[in-house]
Amino acid sequence: MKKSLLMIFIVFLCLSLSFMGCTSGNTEEKIEEDIEKGLKDGVENLEEHLNDNILDKPSLAGIRLGDTKETVEEKLGSDYQEKAYEEAGHFPEQFYTWQYNNGTVVYIGKDSGKVLEIRSTAQGVATNLEVKVGDSAEKIFETYRDKYTEPESIHGGKLIGVFKVEDGAALIFDFNTEDGIVNPEDIKPEDRVERIILTYPAHIDDNF
């Protein structure tokens, strides 16, 4: 395993040095910083470091499932209201929520300290594919149907606006927050998304 990671790092280093030959200024400095960070982290942590920089994982408001609460504070700040829940519900552990004033809510496991779910009704809050709360159904479906699939409900019919994304997660675009998270089949192209949810299917109820 160490030899494999070492080879990955050597290839990464060679490519970076080669690329530096045709770059300048801030780009060159950024590459040098990445190389230094890779060396500092060590070969044991290199695989995780490369994944974080190369793979475009699903995110909402810049937060990914499994992120630490420290990461949440770094990206969203510490101006939130915390509420603890003694019952785990659909989650695998007890949890608490961080409610931000703009309408973004982060669900964090009590024991793991990791993000279990993110929800947002904040205008302009975006996914990693730059689809935002307030965008039209037409834009959302053009962006996501080309890349992901909408699963079938266990009750029959397609889960409109629900997409299976990387890491076994589900990204949900809700066009009416008053009627639950499962959209009707007659979503119009001009309809606007009112809420976006990034979670795991097991954390949402029994529609999956």
Domain span at residue 85 reads 69-203
Q: Which of 15, 31, 54 delimits the end of a domain?
A: 54
Examine residue 8 and state whether it is found in any structural domain, yes or no: yes
Q: Tell me whether residue 64 is in a domain.
A: no
Note down pLDDT in tens along the chain; length 208 residues. Answer: 544 444 444 444 444 444 444 444 555 555 556 556 654 555 455 445 444 444 479 999 999 999 999 999 999 999 999 999 999 998 999 999 999 999 999 999 999 999 999 999 999 999 999 999 999 999 999 999 999 999 888 777 788 999 999 989 999 999 998 877 777 778 999 999 999 999 998 887 645 4
Residues 118 and 127: their CA atoms lie apart, in Å, by 11
**Same domain membership, residue 73 and residue 41:** no
- Does 120 share its domain with 178? yes
Q: Do 37 and 122 belong to one domain?
A: no
- Domain shared by 148 and 93, yes or no: yes
Q: Is the pTM of this model over 0.85?
A: no
Q: Work out how many domains the chain is built from and give that number.
A: 2
Residue 176 domain-assigned? Answer: yes
